Amino acid sequence: MADKLNGYRILILETREEAQFSRLLTEQGADVLQCPMFTIEDAPDPAPVEAWIRRFIANPFDDLVLMTGEGLRRMMKIVRHRGIEKEFVAAVGKSRKFARGPKPGRALREIGLEADITTEKPTSEGVAEMLSRLDLKGHRLGLQLYPEKDHSVLISAITSCGAEVDTVLPYIYDSKAAETNILSAIDEMEAGRVDAIALTSSGQVRRLVDAAKAHDREDQLRNALAKTPIASVGPVVSDELKSYGLEADIYPANDAFFMKPLISAMSIALDKSAARAE
Going from N- to C-terminal start, the domains of the chain cover: 9-38+175-277, 41-173
Residue 50: pLDDT band with limits 50, 70, 90: very high
Which pLDDT belongs to residue 22?
A: 84
**pTM, full prediction:** 0.66
Q: What are the start-end ranges of the E strands in 200-250?
A: 230-232
With a CB cutoff of 8 Å and minimum separation 6, the contacts of 136 are 63, 158, 161, 162, 163
Architecture of domain 41-173: 3-Layer(aba) Sandwich (3.40)
Residue 120: pLDDT band with limits 50, 70, 90: confident
- Per DSSP bridges, beta strands 39-42 and 171-174 are antiparallel
Collapse the DSSP code of 163 into the 3-class scheme (helix H, G, I; strand E, B; otherwise coil) and give the result.
coil
Position 3 pLDDT exceeds 60: no
How far apart (Å, rounded) are the C-alpha atoms in residues 50 and 55?
9
Average pLDDT, stretch 245-260?
Answer: 83
- Are domains 9-38+175-277 and 41-173 of this chain identical in fold? yes
| 273 torsion bin: left (phi>0), alpha (psi -120 to 50), beta (else) | alpha
Burial of residue 113, with CB atoms counted within 10 A of its CB: 0-12 exposed, 13-18 middle, 19 or more buried: middle
CATH assignment of 9-38+175-277?
3.40.50.10090
Portion of the chain with pLDDT greater than 90, in percent: 66
Which pLDDT belongs to residue 100?
A: 93
